[in-house]
Homo-oligomer: A and B are copies of this chain.
């Protein structure tokens, strides 16, 4: 069918761009991850917490993907790191060519970490490699612990799952054990963090994971 052929060509082209991005970032010693979740799971809130904690410690930049508006980028600009907004113009995901163009405008020599916040969508972004080192999938405790079963592709491709809004567990039927079992059943290698951006509980383990992934600065 014609639509599928075109999609396969689009994905193959995307993979070429992703490969180039990956080589470029690795050559620069920059660790990168791509945050994927439904709208409202807390990607931007987690980034606010993360940037506040890493201020003065780690030179990083953020690429914000949104269908429309630069509200999220505006929320993050106060932390003093470069934040670049990509508006996809209705498209349901970021792609690697958008990231490539954005990298052209960043001072990569000054960076050790690149964080990409994808469009809020648990489906489409899973197919588009951006050239990142790792995909981080977020789920919040108000979404139901069955979500890894219903949207398995992203849980299969991610290396990290963050369960956000643990402060709301007492008010829901959500089970941390069940979501963990459901996700690990799909991908046993997932690293899992449980945290609350609201209370700050569990954030340290997430921040330590980032620190452990970022390469030491090159010796001069």
Q: Which residues of A contact B (CB under 8 A)?
A: 2-3, 6, 10, 38-41, 66-69, 71-72, 90, 92, 119-124, 139-140, 142-144, 146-147, 149-153, 165, 167-168, 171-172
Assess the B142–A71 pair: CB atoms within 8 A.
no
Q: Give the number of copies in the complex.
A: 2
Partner of A120, one of B69, B122, B167, B172: B122
Contact among B6, B40, B171 for A167, CB-based, below 8 A: B171
Distance in Å: Cβ of A183 to nearest Cβ of chain B: 14
Assuming the contacts A124-B124, A167-B171, asked whether A150 and B68 have C-beta atoms less than 8 A apart, the reply is yes
Evaluate contact between A39 and B124: CB separation under 8 angstroms. no
Q: Which residue of B lies closest to A75 (CB)?
A: B146
Who on chain B is nearest to A141 by CB?
Answer: B142
Report the minimum CB–CB distance from A174 to chain B (whole Å): 10
14 additional A-B residue pairs with CB within 8 Å, beyond A38-B122, A67-B151, A168-B172: A6-B6, A38-B40, A39-B143, A40-B143, A67-B123, A67-B153, A69-B149, A71-B149, A72-B150, A92-B123, A121-B121, A121-B124, A123-B124, A167-B171
